[in-house]
């Protein structure tokens, strides 16, 4: 029979990153052999209709032999995103004026215009026709 008693392996070092409804836990743990590995846990809070709440957790186990490849891919992906979209957050949650489809008049070479529309951009309406 195994000497494993069902408990998590020893936690050596931990860091927490709170990000809105999500919390990320970075934990260094020890194997039975005494080596270290990393677990990354995403915990997301959900509120039920009755006001109670629950958490959903997703966990990644990362071992030393995968650190270099993981780090390389993570750096490449994050650099790509920042190079393509910049550091500003674009989302409904973070911008009260966010719109999935912006009108062509509001966009000028990819930048949203903050100037109000001029009279030339409106169509004349004759109220005699109503």
For residue range 21-41, list pLDDT tens digits in order.
Answer: 899 999 999 999 999 999 999
Does residue 109 form part of some domain?
A: no
How many residues comprise the chain?
130
What is the pLDDT at residue 8?
Answer: 54
Sign of dihedral through CA atoms 89, 91, 97, 102? positive
Token representation of residue 69: 């490849």
- In-domain check, residue 19: yes
Question: Residue 25: inside a domain, yes or no?
Answer: yes
- Residue ranges for the chain with pLDDT beneath 70: 1-10, 92-130
52: domain range? 1-87
Whether 82 is in a domain gets the answer yes
pTM equals 0.60
Provide the domain count of the chain.
1
Structural contact between residues 78 and 85, judged by C-beta atoms closer than 8 angstroms: no
Whether 40 contacts 60, CB under 8 Å: yes
Residue 120 lies in a domain: no
Q: Which two tokens stand for residue 29?
A: 């743990």
Supply the CATH number for residue 36's domain.
3.10.450.700
């Amino acid at each position: 029979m195994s000497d494993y008693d069902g408990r998590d392996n020893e936690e050596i070092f931990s860091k927490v990153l709170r990000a809105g409804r999500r919390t990320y836990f970075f934990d260094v743990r020890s194997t039975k052999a005494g080596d270290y590995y990393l677990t990354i846990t995403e915990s997301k809070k959900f509120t039920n209709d009755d006001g109670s709440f629950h958490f959903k957790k997703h966990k990644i186990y990362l071992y030393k032999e995968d650190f270099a490849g993981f780090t390389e891919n993570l750096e490449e992906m994050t650099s790509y995103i920042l190079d393509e979209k910049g550091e500003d957050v674009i989302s409904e949650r973070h911008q009260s004026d966010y719109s999935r489809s912006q009108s062509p008049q509001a966009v000028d070479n990819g930048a949203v215009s903050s100037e109000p529309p001029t009279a030339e951009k409106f169509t004349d309406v004759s109220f005699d026709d109503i």
